[in-house]
Structure 1
């Protein structure tokens, strides 16, 4: 953003100070939790910075947004960025969200489809306020696969990578069951699974122990963030079996390295793949569909798909692309 506008970031953490880095001014005011519930001082702090536009991260602060508008006045544009929040269900917060909606100029969603529940519940009343822009990007980049695989030791004619927590939403059980079936007909295929939480690890190990192709699935576990660069560049395909994602950061990181996507047909992934224009989409929880998607994936022209993936990343998912899109939205609102 700093390339296109004077940019200030405010983080209220347990630290008070100021830092300027890469032309961005970072403020750490360290207001108490009580002060943020009734944010008169915080809003005055924001107002003193004389902003033209304020981007509020998260749709869980309706009361604070109402107060912010009252103190900033009507000239300042307020944008609210969605970060996986679901619509409120309790009467009080629904009331405040609908009140806040009157004072929000635009909503930033990774996919317009993600706003459908908010619109259906009238917690966002005007669909034209919903703007599509990726939530976050990736600092990773393509590198030589041979070099990457020397680091990760990944092997196989078709290398698939799955990154996520081992929970029901990420649905690793469907992933593993489908892959072990797929591997029966594709001897050169291997799946590497990177994860931090281990809720379903015992179930996965049981599935693998009962399959004759279970040895083709490698439960890597947790890796440091810097190491992911080599993992993404070791893989031919990035696979996700998620039922819901507000964005899909791991997938975005994989795309920045040229991984071909095989993803569930959910709003954020439809946006990232340009409605399935690259890779393969399948329905969440559909084991047969995932087997078919994996089989179709290995028939794609890899060079062409990688080119499409990197072009899509540069045009819509890169830091510069996101900044340009946000600036476009701001210009539309002013």
Structure 2
């Protein structure tokens, strides 16, 4: 079986030497399939032409005359011409944002099965629903991180319900569990227990609700500490004010700010629990990174997190925007053995969210399409 990944978007400022650092998920998926004996090619629109092979995966970087982020109705003809030179059983297109381009590609390579993978994009308004449904109707299958998100797209009429569908995690993590004591010596994270936030400080992630719930928890767990790592700081000023006005939080919450991704593994491995207050996520990359290190999830009850935590059987899920729910779920979770819950978290990650698990699920889905 030959699987071809097609990536229409690229960052114009990223040179070839930084390709794998910028797009680790692309190689994670591709390598997982290659390790299972699947032949894999990756075609990537890029700032320059190049080709190379890594871990058995062939990469083709293709320069064309279009801008980095295509308009919805642009046809990257030079890119498609390059793809047509290869042989393909499955063409896997990343993002429904490129449904029009997938429609064109299906007409150019009618023998290939076209798969579109959801990457957090929302279906939009009714006009967009019509366009999405029309252009994606030429595809043969869809991949979403959550069955519930898939059903919502079907419900609003953005995609047809008669296409094959697979629930597969959007991406994974190459981080691994490390000894907590050793890592805490490096990071100087203290607390009993240690909570960690990794994510943007914005309304969707809702850090203020997490802080409100955490302040309630401190009445019973006064030695608990919460550390926040973030890149975008939309609500940072409000958070500083909130902490300053709450005497309980002042000594128990620390904003660490931005930390390079290559250095963040030691922070995950210094934590006991991972928290986020997200109202919507297409999947959850910081959560999957945390779970790969055995950090126990305490996250909101949204579709993608339900999938990633086995409906709350791993860690705990709490109601969006509700600090009381955070507090109540945290109380129950903290009464359980950290060692046991960490082991459950690592086991679920390995069996369901790791790149190896993704590769197995993806190969099964592709084979089902070829069998039709």
Q: Deviations over 1:16-43 (max 9, x none)?
A: 1112111111111111217962233322
Q: Secondary structure at the match of 1:197?
A: coil
CA contact (8 A) 1:177 1:207 kept: no
- Equivalence for 1:42: 79
Superposition pairs for residues 276-291 of structure 1, below 5 Å? 276-291=312-327
CA contact (8 A) 1:174 1:241 kept: yes
- Equivalence for 2:64: 31
Distance, in Å, in 1 between the alignment partners of 2:213 and 2:139 is 44
Distance, in Å, in 1 between the alignment partners of 2:162 and 2:302 is 19
Q: Secondary structure at the match of 2:269?
A: helix
TM-score, normalising length: structure 2:
0.86
- Equivalence for 1:54: 91
How much does 1:96 deviate? 3.1
The answer to whether residue 135 in structure 2 is matched with residue 103 in structure 1 is no
- Equivalence for 1:3: 35
The answer to whether residue 252 in structure 2 is matched with residue 212 in structure 1 is no
Q: Secondary structure at the match of 2:34?
A: coil
Q: Secondary structure at the match of 1:178?
A: helix
Distance, in Å, in 1 between the alignment partners of 2:67 and 2:345 is 46
The answer to whether residue 179 in structure 2 is matched with residue 144 in structure 1 is yes
CA contact (8 A) 1:7 1:25 kept: yes
Q: Secondary structure at the match of 1:46?
A: helix
- Equivalence for 1:124: 159
Moved more, 263-272 or 116-125: 116-125
Distance, in Å, in 1 between the alignment partners of 2:154 and 2:310 is 23
The answer to whether residue 346 in structure 2 is matched with residue 314 in structure 1 is no
How much does 1:275 deviate? 1.1
TM-score, normalising length: structure 1:
0.96
Distance, in Å, in 1 between the alignment partners of 2:75 and 2:339 is 55
Q: Deviations over 1:71-124 (max 9, x none)?
A: 101x21111010111113262x44432222321111111111112331112121
Distance, in Å, in 2 between the alignment partners of 1:278 and 1:21 is 35
- Equivalence for 1:251: 287
- Equivalence for 1:162: 197
CA contact (8 A) 1:106 1:129 kept: yes
Unaligned runs of 5+ in 1: none
Distance, in Å, in 2 between the alignment partners of 1:90 and 1:100 is 14
Distance, in Å, in 1 between the alignment partners of 2:124 and 2:189 is 44
Distance, in Å, in 2 between the alignment partners of 1:88 and 1:32 is 28
The answer to whether residue 104 in structure 2 is matched with residue 72 in structure 1 is no
Aligned alpha-carbon RMSD (Å) = 1.5
Q: Secondary structure at the match of 2:274?
A: strand
Q: Deviations over 1:301-331 (max 9, x none)?
A: 2222111111111111111110111001011
CA contact (8 A) 1:148 1:230 kept: yes
Distance, in Å, in 2 between the alignment partners of 1:212 and 1:303 is 31
CA contact (8 A) 2:201 2:232 kept: yes
Unaligned runs of 5+ in 2: 1-32
- Equivalence for 1:329: 365
Q: Deviations over 1:153-188 (max 9, x none)?
A: 001110000111110000011011111121122112
Q: Deviations over 1:103-152 (max 9, x none)?
A: 11111111111123311121212165231000000010001101110111
Distance, in Å, in 2 between the alignment partners of 1:192 and 1:200 is 16
Superposition pairs for residues 261-300 of structure 1, below 5 Å? 261-300=297-336
Distance, in Å, in 2 between the alignment partners of 1:96 and 1:198 is 35
